[in-house]
Structure 1
Amino acid sequence: MDDPVLLTGASGRVGQAILGGLADEYEWRLLDRDPPTGDQPGEFVVADVTDEEAIRDAMDGVGAVIHLAGDPRPEAPWDSVLTNNIDGAKTVFEAAADADVDRVVFASSNHAVGAYETDERTPGLYRSHDEYRLDGTELPRPSNLYGVSKATGEVLGRYYHDHRDLRVCCVRIGNLTESHPPIDYERGQAMWLSYRDCAHLFDRALRADYEYEIVYGISDNDRKYYSIDRAREVLGYDPQDNSAAWDGDERASEGS
């Protein structure tokens, strides 16, 4: 891709994982509400995602958008998720469509489907022998208002694909940690996403040929209740990490 990639929420944890693996792969235009604290791999725009004029200016000339910005708190109140996550996503999708951007990769969340984790399914759901999988075709079942905002972002993406011809990939991100997954936390192991696999997944979402997709963002864990088959088939996702490498109860061992 020759045109710049606009990365909103660039200073957050997901943004840093992406830039940590892909800083030299693209020309970046980075956007965050807070000024940067160090050197950045591209132009940096200090703006709020709800500032329509600033977003339109930042969108000028870009080829793709990775939209991460918003209130990331699972306990975030409605006024915040409405303004920062829903209105913010709408501003980004609208500006991208008006600027004839090729695609928007939208950071959704496991919280958009968190209510599938019922008492009847857990804790077996988190164990490698359990075959239950969510694959992206299921309806959203948010576990909190933050999850409602992410499900709404997915629907906004569908709307802008259908009516404005945007390519949209929604990535339901799992449990992103920089080092190993939480060893004593089965749910965290089941939805673990390494920094390396996160960068690779978003790289594939920028390069692959698709129209509208919902995929799960986790590593290739033995414990999993999210399917990564669609990400493999459509995006060419090839994760390298597995939470079982840090789990004494699983057959895999570190370095395998």
Structure 2
Amino acid sequence: MDDPVLLTGASGRVGQAILSHLADEFEWRLLDREPIPEDRRYGVPESASIVADVTDDEAVADAVGGCGAVIHLAGDPRPNAPWDSVLTNNIDGTQTVYQAAVDAGVEKVAYASSNHAVGAYEAEERTPEMYRTDDEFRLDGTELPRPSNLYGVSKATGETLGRYYHDEHDLSVVCVRIGNLTKGHPPREYERGQAMWLSHPDCAHLFDRCVKAEYDYEIVYGISDNDRKYYSIERAKEVLGYEPRDNSAEYTFEGELREDAEHPEE
């Protein structure tokens, strides 16, 4: 990708996972509602940082102009966020980004969706068995959304907006239903968290593939290649070329890397 890549919400958890591994991979534009400290830009120059809200049509249009791709992360990330916040920040803001991308002739948008868009599939009769290695239940991205909270509703709406902008304007869109992103090791003694764990290196690699791969409209799951899993990552592998390297099973319940693990801890 020779053209710049716009990263919205660059100072957030997912943005930091991406930048900490890919700061030198692209020419970045970083958008956040607050100034991004130097230590959170990972060498990206301050001149590439834009302080703006994603609901500001003019500011987003300026930020998107000339970009080849957008990774859209910005929004209210709280699972218990109230409706007025998710409506403004997550739904209106996402529509603003999609529209600006179309107007600017951007090729593709990678949209950060969430496991909360399908959280209601975790019905009581399925848990905790569905989090275990011998259970075959899988969500693969073809199922309808079943949000578990209003935040999840906003993320499912962002997926639907992406479908509209692909069908109506031929924008390439990939929606990544992000699992449980943690740095270093998976959650200790937490079956669900281990089943949906996404390491920082795998997160960065997945969004790198979202920028570089060719696709039309896709919904994929963003987790590492865990032995425990109830999300399928086969579509991400097939369409994007995603090759996750981490596995929550390589860690003990105390959070230590097992001696026989394939990859050193980062």
The equivalent of 1:74 in structure 2 is 79
The DSSP-based 3-state class of the residue aligned with 1:161 is helix
Distance in 2 (alpha carbons) for counterparts of 1:30 and 1:62: 12
**Deviation by residue 1:206-232 (Cα, 9 ceiling, x = unmatched):** 111110000000000000000000000
Corresponding residue for 1:24? 24
Match in the other structure for 1:83? 88
Q: Which runs of structure 2 are paired with 1:114-193 in the superposition (5 Å)?
A: 114-193=119-198
The equivalences for 1:29-44 within 5 A come to: 29-38=29-38, 40=41, 41-42=44-45, 43-44=48-49
Q: Which amino acid is the alignment partner of residue 16 of structure 1?
A: Q
Identity %: 74
Partner residue of 1:210?
Answer: 215
Q: Which residue of 2 aligns with 1:221?
A: 226
- Alpha-carbon distance in structure 1 between the residues aligned to 2:58 and 2:80: 29
Deviations 1:73-97 (A, max 9, x none): 0000000000000000000000000
Q: CA deviation at 1:116?
A: 0.1
**Secondary structure, counterpart of 1:128 in structure 2:** coil
- State the distance in 2 between where 1:10 and 1:28 align: 10
TM-score, length of structure 1 as denominator length: 0.97
Q: CA RMSD in A?
A: 1.2
Q: How much has 1:247 moved relative to structure 2?
A: 3.6
Q: Which residue in the other structure is 1:45 paired with?
A: 50
Aligned residue number for residue 97 of structure 2: 92
Query: What residue identity is the alignment partner of 1:17?
Result: A
Deviations along 1:125-155, one digit per CA (max 9) or x if unpaired, are: 0001100000000000000000000000000
SS in 2 for 1:96: helix
**How many equivalent pairs are there?**
254
Q: CA deviation at 1:253?
A: 3.5
Q: Verify the 8 A CA contact 2:10 2:32 in the aligned structure 1.
A: yes
Equivalences for residues 53-72 of structure 1 within 5 A: 53-72=58-77
Structure 2 unmatched runs, 5+: none
Could you tell me how far apart the structure 2 residues matched to 1:37 and 1:53 are? 24
Deviating more after overlay: 212-221 vs 42-51: 42-51
Unaligned runs of 5+ in 1: none
Offset at residue 167 of structure 1 (A): 0.2
SS in 2 for 1:83: helix
Work out whether residues 189 and 253 of structure 2, in 8 Å CA contact, stay in contact via their aligned partners in 1: no
Aligned partner of residue 174 in structure 2, secondary structure: strand
Correspondence 1:4 to 2:4: yes
Shift of 1:246: 1.3
CA shift at 1:248, angstroms?
Answer: 5.3
Deviates more, 1:36-45 or 1:157-166: 36-45
Give the counterpart letter for 2:155 in structure 1. K
